[in-house]
Amino acid sequence: MHFAVGLSSTVFHFHQPRPLAEYKNGKYMKEESMKKKAQKLLPFCLMAALLTCGCAATEATQQTAVIQPPPAAATQQQVYKGKVVGKSNKAKIISLEVGKGDKAKTITIKFDKNTKGIEHAAKGHGAIIAYEKRGNDIYATSIKQKLAKMPAGVTEISVADVKALIDKDEDFELIDSRPAHRYSSSHLPGAISIPVCEMKELIGLLPKHKDKLLIFYCGGPT
C-alpha cells in the first residue's frame, strides 16, 4: 500500500513500512537463528583447527628427522710401504719397491710442491707414502720413514743417553754401521767400523762377552 501526494508538478510517493513483526517472523528470525548456531559450533571449529595444526607440526618434525643425512664416514688413508729404489727431482718421480719375493714389484709415484716429507724418500731406505689418485696418476701427499723392526732384545737409545755413557766411561761397545768411507770421514770417539753390508764378514770384531752392551749407530732411519 502506498500514498501519492501532489505538489505543483512534482509527485512524491511514500511507501508504508511493513510491520516489525513480519521481519521478526521472517528474515530477522533466520539471521538470529544462524548466529546462535555459529556460536555453538565455534568451539568445535577451534578444536579442529588446533588438532590439524598439531598433527601437521608433528608430521613436519618427523619428516625433518627422516631426511637428515647420516654422518659422513671417515675416509681411510691410502698408503704404500716399501723401499725407495729411485727418485728423480727433475721428473718428480719416486720409484718404490713393494711386496716380497715373487710378489715384489716397483711402482712409480709422482710428487709435487705440496708433498710433505719428500726428504724421507731416500734411495735405499724404507718409506711409507700416503697418496691420492689424480686421473690415471698416483701422487704422494706425504712421506714418512719406515723404520726397521727391532728384533727381540733390541731397543732404541737416545743420543743424550749415549753421550752420558761416554762421559761416564761406561763399559760398552760402540759400532758404526755406516759404509767404511763414511766412518773414515768422521765417527764417534771409541767406535769401531762394522758396515751393515759387511756384518757377516766382520762379525768376529764383536766382543766375545755376550753380556756386554752393544750400541749401533748409522746415518739414516734404519
Same domain, 174 and 128: no
Higher pLDDT, 182 or 7: 182
CATH number at residue 134: 2.40.50.320
The residues near 196 (Cβ < 8 Å, ≥ 6 apart) are 177, 218
Give pTM, 2 decimals.
0.43
123/176 same-domain check: no
Give the three-class secondary structure for 163. Answer: helix
Contacts of 128 (CB under 8 A, 6+ apart): 79, 80, 81, 143, 144, 145, 146
Question: Are residue 212 and residue 165 in the same domain, yes or no?
Answer: yes
Between 105 and 198, residue with greater pLDDT:
105
CATH of the domain at 193: 3.40.250.10
pLDDT digits (tens, 9 = 90+) for 66-117: 555 556 554 567 999 999 999 999 999 999 999 988 889 999 999 999 999 9
Residue ranges making up the domain that contains 141:
79-145
Residue 118: inside a domain: yes
Cβ atoms of residues 94 and 131 within 8 Å: no
* Phi, psi for 57 (deg, rounded to 5): -65, -40
Domain boundary among 145, 177, 192: 145
User: With bands split at pLDDT 50, 70 and 90, how would you rate the model's confidence at 65?
Assistant: very low
Query: H or E stretch including 197?
Result: none
Q: Is residue 40 part of a domain?
A: no
Give the model's pLDDT for residue 166.
Answer: 86
Give the bridge partners for 144, in sequence order: 128
* Judgement on whether residues 83 and 141 belong to the same structural domain of the protein: yes
Count: domains in the chain: 2
Q: Judge whether 173 and 213 are in contact, CB under 8 Å.
A: yes
pLDDT at position 177 over 80: yes
Domain presence at residue 201: yes
Q: What is the mean pLDDT of the chain?
A: 76
Residue 8 forms part of a structural domain? no
Last residue of a domain, one of 145, 170, 190: 145
> Is residue 187 in a domain?
yes
Q: Residue 44: what pLDDT?
A: 61
